[in-house]
Amino acid sequence: MNAGIRRLTGRAGSISERIVYNLLAGVHRRPHAKTMASLEAVFGCPAEDLGLVAPAERRPPPPPKGPVDRRAFLATGSAAAAGTVLAPVGQRPASVGAGAVLAAGRIFTTT
């Protein structure tokens, strides 16, 4: 592997036994580009055939997203935010305080 990296980049590789083991065990499925290129050179097949995931520059781009109806999005988002912030007068949202947590702890703690 390190010799393959040297041939491809002109610089010494630093692939250890642990990295190779992790690749074989499936711990790492997306190695660095130079490691991927070295694996392809050593085995003579695309890295995808070895069960590895291609780097982002080699994967096909994701499909374009549909247009966003900004007016509907803002209206829905604003209404939802106003509904949570502007609770009716005299009503507080349900909450649990520290006293309730401590009381529940005393109830459910077994000695």
Per residue in 65-77, pLDDT tens? Answer: 777 777 777 777 6
Higher pLDDT among residues 91 and 12, named by residue:
12
Provide the whole-model pTM. 0.43
DSSP code per residue over 38-52: HHHHHHTS-GGGGTP
CA distance 104 to 49: 55
CA distance 18 to 15: 8
Q: What is the pLDDT of residue 9?
A: 81
